[in-house]
Structure 1
Amino acid sequence: MRSSSAFWPALALTAPLVLFLAFAYALPFLGVALWSVTLPEPGLGQYERLVGDPLVQSVFLRTFRICLIVTVIAVACAYAVTYVWVRGSRLQRRLIEICIFVPFWISLLTRAFGWLALLSTRGIVNASLQALGLTDGPLALVRNEPSVIAGMVHVLIPFAVLPLASAMRTVDERMLLAARGMGASRLRIFWSVFLPLTLPGVIGATLIVFVFSLGFFVTPAILGGGRSIMVAELVYLRMFQSPDWGLGAAISVALVVIVAALMGLLARFARLGLTGGGR
């Protein structure tokens, strides 16, 4: 009886959110999916082009390559940052908190132009190198993949920190003390005890960063300068510059399916209790 009486209030509270998500996301996605099989003519021709077009394949491969590199670098950096945040001194924790949460208040556009100002031919880095006599002329530090990777890593590190912090805070301190009491060095304790216990957080952070990186548009468009086109930018080009709405819609649907599969994998780990440092 209690569960039955609590059902309707819970439904009333969640119904507005469900309706909003349906109108804001589900219906537009269904419209895009319909375009993918009706434009310019009905059929699955756009999906055949998606599979057989060398340009589309190269963009997908570049996107997965960049996202994989970004994920590895971002999770590795976030692990070091999180370790200091969780186990450092009070001053270190406060500084790390500032570095983690302040970027959430700065827009992606601002951060991308910040990197552009830093790495451009007349930017701070090139000006400093030339002033020190280390280079004769400006280096090509933007409009390439390394600049795109740097900008994406900068954005995604805070997102990787949160699941890692959740996993690190669940590590039983008694296990670390027991390993130390048995004569293990700090490095041995880290590799043999601490890291395995935090692997669920690493898996969660990896999936989150990889999924987020797949949909990046602003950062690659600004820092890549059209030379490192990723899937989201390709969709924009096909939709608004070609225009080839059918192929753009098919690429969008394929990207959403890939993201949904990865999110399903993340949800599976969450159900198993792994993202919080499973027992």
Structure 2
Amino acid sequence: MKAYLSDRMGAALLMAPLLLFLGAAYAWPFFGVVNWSFTLPEPGLGQYGTLLSDPLVQSVFVRTLRIAAIVTIVSVAAAYAITVVWVRGTPAQRVIAEFCILVPFWISVLTRAFGWVALLSNRGLFNTWLQAIGFISEPLTLVRNEFGVIVGMTHFLIPFAVFPLASSMRSLDDRVLLAARGLGSSRMRTFWSVFVPMTRSGIIGSALIVFVFSLGFFVTPAILGGGRSVMVAELIYLRIFQSPDWGLGAAISVVLVLFVGALMALVFRYVRPKQLI
């Protein structure tokens, strides 16, 4: 018993610096934002009432959830295909897949966003090429809308979705797949009926990471959305730095943090955290 308590005390002492840092860097500022939401411009719940009744704020939340859901589905599906090649492909395929996964981490989010603008704008490479071959007569509107935001966010988040999937796939017992094949299952049926269900924890972990990242995205939607597809993070910025309406911006921030916390608590209720990685 004494040894157990000693180990617990040692673990607590080792974690204390990290907990103090997190408290100073995140918890204390967050409580300051909570205070703003109840006191600015005057004490009360007025800002939360505005949040619930303002059609603009509600439309931004709906748009954010819609874009986040689409980006999550597309990113996890693309990451799953890439991860299968990375984990179970030939040595050459693994090297190529690993290169494609790691290279995006070396490029800043700002550079990638402007790169998509150069590709998808009315005078960008994609529209110019389509017009040159006669496929279209007028340029397609691919940026300054939700499509451009989804493309840019998906491109950024695919690498983050890969790692929980890779962990799940590497821990899979190949003997189960061999048993399914030995019982007469085709490759495709083995994949959908055995392989995919056994990597469910990785899929949930990837989806959670991508969805939470998507809710707080700022730079990519601001550049590729062009102010026409405003998401929650950009709305908070506009309310605090341009309106200024610090109380409403703080209230939106608090609601967003609480929503993410509730989402993670719901996921962890059914899936243990160690299963997500």
TM over 0.5: yes
Report whether the alignment pairs 1:183 with 2:188: no
Match of 1:260 in 2: 261
Equivalent position of 1:59 in the other structure: 60
Q: Partners of 1:7 and 1:184 in 2: how far apart?
A: 49
| Matched residue, 2:204 | 203
Q: How does 1:266-277 map to 2 (within 5 A)?
A: 266-268=267-269, 271=272, 273-276=274-277
Q: Give secondary structure in 1 for the equivalent of 2:228.
A: coil
1:7 CA displacement: 4.5
SS of 1:42's equivalent?
Answer: coil
The correspondence of residues 92-103 of structure 1 with structure 2, limited to 5 A, is 92-103=93-104
Contact 1:204-1:269 within 8 A present in 2 as well? no
Aligned partners of 1:125 and 1:269: how far apart in 2? 44
Q: Cα distance, 1:262 vs. partner?
A: 2.0
Alignment partner of 1:138: what SS?
A: coil
Normalised to the residue count of structure 1, the TM-score between the two structures is: 0.94
User: 1:47-86 to 2 correspondence within 5 Å?
Assistant: 47-86=48-87
* Shift, 1:108, TM fit: 0.9
5+ long unaligned stretches in structure 1: none
Q: What residue is the counterpart of 2:23 in the other structure?
A: 22
Deviations 1:71-96 (A, max 9, x none): 01001111111111111000111111
Alignment match, 1:121: 122
RMSD between superposed Cα atoms in Å? 1.5
Whichever residue aligns with residue 245 of structure 2, its letter is: D
What 5-or-longer segments of structure 2 have no aligned partner?
none
Report deviation, 1:16: 2.2
Distance in structure 2 (CA, Å) of the matches to 1:93 and 1:167: 17
User: Residues 9-30 of structure 1, C-alpha deviation per residue, up to 9 Å, x if partnerless?
Assistant: 4444322222221111111110
Identity between Structure 1 and Structure 2 (%) = 66
**CA separation in 1, counterparts of 2:106 and 2:264?**
25
For 1:172-251, what aligned pairs fall within 5 Å after superposition? 172-251=173-252
In the alignment, is the contact (CA less than 8 A) between 1:73 and 1:153 conserved in 2?
A: yes
Give the Å deviation of 1:270.
5.3
In structure 2, distance between residues paired with 1:218 and 1:129: 28
The AA in structure 1 aligned to 2:179 is A
Q: Deviations over 1:94-144 (max 9, x none)?
A: 111111112112111111111111111221111211221222232211101
Q: CA deviation at 1:252?
A: 0.3
Amino acid of the structure 2 residue aligned with 1:73: V
Counterpart residue type for residue 172 of structure 2 = V
Deviation larger for 76-85 or 118-127: 118-127
Q: Offset at 1:264?
A: 2.4
Structure 2 equivalent of residue 134 of structure 1: 135
Q: Is the 8 A contact 2:122 2:141 kept in 1?
A: yes
Select between 173-182 and 213-222 the one with higher mean Cα deviation: 173-182
Q: 1:39 to 1:144 in 2, by over 3 A?
A: same
Name which of structure 1's ranges 142-151 and 192-201 shifts more when overlaid on structure 2. 192-201
Which sits farther off after the overlay, 262-271 or 194-203? 262-271
Residue identity opposite 1:92 in structure 2 = Q
Partner of 2:161: 160
Task: Report the TM-score when normalising by structure 2.
Answer: 0.95
Please report how far the alpha carbon of residue 266 of structure 1 lies from its aligned counterpart in structure 2 after TM superposition: 4.2
- Pick which of 258-267 and 43-52 moved more: 258-267
* CA distance in 2: counterparts of 1:153 and 1:274, whole angstroms: 24
C-alpha contact (below 8 Å) 1:78/1:160 kept by paired residues: yes
The SS at the match of 2:111 is helix
Q: Residues 114 and 174 (structure 1 numbering): CA distance in 2 closer, same or farther, change over 3 Å?
A: same
Identify which range, 221-230 or 98-107, moves more after superposition: 98-107
How many angstroms apart in 2 are the aligned matches of 1:200 and 1:23? 32
